[in-house]
């Protein structure tokens, strides 16, 4: 398996919207599993961190394209809880790279009306990365200037998220704030890291792997899945637009006829 330009007023933002002929089919929320940095680096005869560095360039282009097409939420899987099992030098390099990218991109993103938010077990991340996250999340964009929210999943796994939600619901029950009968799908969603955000309508996974890898398992219940053999550093504007076009061709039935 493999979407007119309108400028803002009074001044055009760095990433003006690109409205498509089928803009009513643009998903509100797109989730992305960015896979293939290491394999791409190996194909170039380079170390894995070389691929991660070029992966940041792909993130930049996809974020810009998503904002231009009218996507309201973009969630990217940057580092999973399982990724701690990689070689220490690679993990340290990834942490440093992400911390630097957050700060270097913050001004451009803010000027474009793109807000950064982070989901995952953030308290377990290195201090330098936590500081970058705090700086980004403390940056305020007025509601009338907000175009898109970029959610970055760091030290994240869906099983961790669901376990954490169940623990917090359990504590509320222990305190007498909840009864078992009051536990609903809506209540569980309110205790997830994505609370207040609509579930993704489209999930993109690069590099040819056909699995979810412990990502947003609750939220992806009725999400359209799009898999491509393209390795993440080569996944750019046109590849993202093709994923949106494929999404627009699908009929979402949610179990109905």
- By annotation, the residues acting in catalysis are 35, 83
CA–CA separation, 69 and 55 (whole Å): 21
Q: What are phi and psi of 133, to 5 degrees?
A: -60, -45
Closest by Cα among 36, 53, 5 to 204: 36
Q: Where are the beta strands (DSSP E) in the chain?
A: 5-6, 17-18, 29-33, 73-80, 114-119, 148-156, 202-205, 224-227
CA–CA separation, 97 and 90 (whole Å): 10
Helices (H), 70-151: 88-111, 127-137
CA–CA separation, 63 and 75 (whole Å): 10
Task: Enter the DSSP assignment of 28.
Answer: S
In the block, residue with structure tokens 């803002």: 8
CA–CA separation, 253 and 148 (whole Å): 26
User: 164 vs 29, 67, 76, 121, 189, CA distance in Å?
Assistant: 23, 31, 20, 9, 12
């Amino acid at each position: 398996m493999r979407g007119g330009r309108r400028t803002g007023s009074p001044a055009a933002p760095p990433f003006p919207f690109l409205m498509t002929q089928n803009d009513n089919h643009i998903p509100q929320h797109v989730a992305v599993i960015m896979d293939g940095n290491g394999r791409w680096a190996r194909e170039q005869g380079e170390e894995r961190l070389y691929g991660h560095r070029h992966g940041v360039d792909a993130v930049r282009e996809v974020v810009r394209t998503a904002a231009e097409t009218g996507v309201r939420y973009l969630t990217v899987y940057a580092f999973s809880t399982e990724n701690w099992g990689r070689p220490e030098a690679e993990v340290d390099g990834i942490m440093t790279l992400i911390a630097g990218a957050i700060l270097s991109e913050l001004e451009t993103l803010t000027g474009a009306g793109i807000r950064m938010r982070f989901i995952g077990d953030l308290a377990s991340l290195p201090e330098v990365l936590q500081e970058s996250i705090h700086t980004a999340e403390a940056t305020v964009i007025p509601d009338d200037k907000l175009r898109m929210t970029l959610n970055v999943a760091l030290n994240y796994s869906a099983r961790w998220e669901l376990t954490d939600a169940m623990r917090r619901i359990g504590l509320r029950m222990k305190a007498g704030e909840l009864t078992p009968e009051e536990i609903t799908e809506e209540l569980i969603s309110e205790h997830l890291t994505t609370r207040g955000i609509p579930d993704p309508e489209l999930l993109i996974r690069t590099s040819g792997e056909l699995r979810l890898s412990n990502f947003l398992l609750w939220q992806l219940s009725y999400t359209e899945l799009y898999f491509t053999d393209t390795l993440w550093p080569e996944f750019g504007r046109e590849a993202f637009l093709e994923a949106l076009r494929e999404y627009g061709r699908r009929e979402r039935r949610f179990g109905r006829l």
